Amino acid sequence: MRIAIAGAGNVGRSIASELIGNGHQVMLIERQPRQLRPERVPQAEWVLADACEVSSLEEADVAGCDVVVAATGDDKANLVVSLLAKTEFAVNRVVARVNRAENEWLFTEQWGVDVAVSKPRLMAALVEEAVTVGDLVRLMTFRQGEANLVEITLPANAPYVGQPVRSIPMPRDAALVAVLRGKRVLVPTPDDPLEAGDELIFVCTTEVEDAVRAVVLGKLGELG
């Protein structure tokens, strides 16, 4: 994919390096000359421009990008970049960084944002994921809240411990996508047995989260 990243600070450069490592073509757009450091990510295309200006985005051919990432440290700038990318250049996928938790409610489809990534929320979710056993933890939200990535760590007395994956009556609009066991990441098959301590990763809609909790945890889930 061809991906444009607005903001070449630490966050933008880190994202660029990861995406380039995965084989994508990346363009970094930065308006501050002091932040223009091509030697940090030499495989990327670097553009000195203001991503909040339509003319700059036109010159950078943002319309030819598959994804735009608004990764500056300014929420207002990220919203403007997202809105321009979606409405002026019809970019298929817009991902925006949320710097301040109180601004998260603004990062919606109305502002052109397909996926909002909030560092405070993500850090809180990771803390919960690390310490929570026997409950559902929401890790990430996709498609303006239509779908979520959630995790459940199985306690020893969960009803399906020792049973194969196919025995779990999964609710509609929910899918078990991975099982984390120790240092291993398992792609679950119907015959794989579940073990106490397994971290089950699901993608599901918000509406069925309670049903997933109740099914996987039985009475434990109902008590929550």
Where residue 100 sits, what CATH number does that domain have? 3.40.50.720
Alpha helices in 107-201 (DSSP H): 119-131
Per-position pLDDT tens, the chain of length 224: 999 999 999 889 989 998 999 899 999 999 999 989 999 999 999 999 999 999 999 999 999 999 999 999 999 999 999 999 999 999 999 999 999 889 989 999 999 998 888 765 665 555 555 556 778 888 877 755 678 889 999 999 999 999 999 999 999 999 999 999 988 889 999 999 999 999 999 999 989 999 999 999 986 444 44
Question: Is 82 in the same domain as 136?
Answer: no
Question: Is 147 in the same domain as 201?
Answer: yes
- The last residue of one of the domains, among 85, 118, 151, is 118
Question: Is 55 in the same domain as 146?
Answer: no
Residue 117 has what pLDDT?
Answer: 83
Say which residues have a Cβ less than 8 Å from residue 149's Cβ, sequence separation at least 6.
Answer: 138, 139, 140, 141, 142, 201, 202, 203
Residue 146 has what pLDDT?
Answer: 75
Question: Is 139 in the same domain as 179?
Answer: yes
What DSSP string describes 20-77? HHTT-EEEEEES-GGG--TTTSTTSEEEES-TTSHHHHHHTTGGG-SEEEE--S-HHH
Question: Is 77 in the same domain as 8?
Answer: yes
Question: Is 82 in the same domain as 155?
Answer: no
Question: Is 22 in the same domain as 105?
Answer: yes
What's the total number of domains in the chain? Answer: 2
Residue 130 has what pLDDT?
Answer: 56
* Structural domain contains residue 51: yes
Which phi and psi angles does 22 have, rounded to 5°?
-95, 10
* Structural domain contains residue 223: no
CB atoms near residue 127 (< 10 Å) = 11
Residue 222 has what pLDDT?
Answer: 46
Question: Is 50 in the same domain as 112?
Answer: yes
* Structural domain contains residue 39: yes
* Structural domain contains residue 14: yes
Q: Which domain holds residue 211?
A: 132-217
Task: Evaluate the CA torsion angle 35, 88, 93, 63 in order and state its sign.
Answer: negative
Q: How far apart are CA 114 and CA 107, in angstroms?
A: 9
Question: Is 12 in the same domain as 104?
Answer: yes
- The last residue of one of the domains, among 89, 118, 147, is 118
Indicate the helix (H) or strand (E) that contains 152: strand 147-153
Question: Is 51 in the same domain as 157?
Answer: no
* Structural domain contains residue 73: yes
Q: How far apart are CA 51 and CA 140, in angstroms?
A: 26
Residue 121 has what pLDDT?
Answer: 61
* CATH code of residue 155: 3.30.70.1450
pTM here is: 0.64
Residue 221 has what pLDDT?
Answer: 41
- Which residue from 38, 49, 42 is spatially nearest to 6, judged by alpha carbons? 49
